[in-house]
Chains A and B, each alone.
Chain A
Amino acid sequence: DGGITQSPKYLFRKEGQNVTLSCEQNLNHDAMYWYRQDPGQGLRLIYYSQIVNDFQKGDIAEGYSVSREKKESFPLTVTSAQKNPTAFYLCASSSRLDYGYTFGSGTRLTVV
């Protein structure tokens, strides 16, 4: 079955540590996205990538980094520079935005 896989589902890290969230899709979608979801704030765009080896900052990119070395993969690194990293992170992909995004199941990151 085609879809997007995010791993892990839950992640705990100590403050000051970098952490990488995985996102893999087998839908042959060109574009991939990372969103952050906090209670009462909806989804906010962190980074997105339209093609391999290219990506753009979204609205809240500070403290995050990404890479797009393969079409199927778009990992997100939450660095120690991110002031409030505890959140639910959603990865998505699209081929044509006419039909909206396909979302992964998310990773809940807790930094203690």
Chain B
Amino acid sequence: EDKVVQSPLSLVVHEGDTVTLNCSYEVTNFRSLLWYKQEKKAPTFLFMLTSSGIEKKSGRLSSILDKKELFSILNITATQTGDSAVYLCAVRLDDYKLSFGAGTTVTVRA
């Protein structure tokens, strides 16, 4: 059975803190790993990772994949209240299907 496990399930930080979210996976057929941000309703795409060790960055967010140890991390530096959301990790299994983790709820306090 394919598994995508995210940790922690939730965390609370103060503005300016740095956050590290983890995603580990055990799947039969790995194509790529994706991160999404879900604030209220529709998840929005953040990153897609296919190669180990290559960091992807977008502003204060960055992510990296380790295909040997089967995990990815998502970092958020200098957090702001607007970063409060559920962060979803998903693994692409084939041309169409994604398997999602349970998500990490991040709350940033002013």
A and B from one complex: yes
A33–B43 Cα gap in the complex (Å)? 14
Tell me whether chain B's interface is mostly helix, strand or loop, or mixed. Answer: strand
> Which of B41, B45, B99 has the most CB atoms of chain A within a 10 A radius of its CB?
B41
A66–B36 Cα gap in the complex (Å)? 26
A-B pairs with beta carbons under 8 A, tally:
55
Number of interface residues of A (CB under 8 A): 25
Taking the nearest CB of chain B, how far is it from the CB of A37, in angstroms?
Answer: 9
Q: Looking at the complex, which one of A41, A50, A100, A104 makes contact with B42 (CB distance below 8 Å)? A: A104
Contact yes or no, B101 A42, CB < 8 A? yes
Taking the nearest CB of chain B, how far is it from the CB of A100, in angstroms?
Answer: 5
User: Which residues from 13 to 54 on chain A have a C-beta closer than 8 Å to any C-beta of chain B?
Assistant: 31, 33, 35, 40-45, 48, 50
Q: Chain A contacts of B43 at CB under 8 A?
A: 90, 101, 103
Q: Chain A contacts of B96 at CB under 8 A?
A: 31, 33, 48, 50, 94, 97
A41–B3 Cα gap in the complex (Å)? 12
Contact yes or no, A97 B42, CB < 8 A? no
Q: Chain A contacts of B102 at CB under 8 A?
A: 40-42
Contact yes or no, A45 B41, CB < 8 A? no
Q: Mark B74-101, 1 if CB is under 8 A from A, else 0.
A: 0000000000000010101001111111
Q: Chain B contacts of A45 at CB under 8 A?
A: 97-99
Number of interface residues of B (CB under 8 A): 25
Contact yes or no, A100 B34, CB < 8 A? yes
A33–B31 Cα gap in the complex (Å)? 19
Please list 29 pairs of residues, one from A and one from B, whose beta carbons are closer than 8 Å in the complex, sorted by A's number.
A33-B96, A42-B4, A42-B88, A42-B100, A42-B101, A42-B102, A43-B90, A43-B100, A44-B100, A45-B98, A45-B99, A48-B97, A50-B96, A90-B43, A97-B31, A97-B92, A97-B95, A97-B98, A98-B32, A98-B48, A100-B34, A100-B36, A100-B90, A100-B98, A102-B45, A103-B43, A103-B44, A105-B41, A105-B42
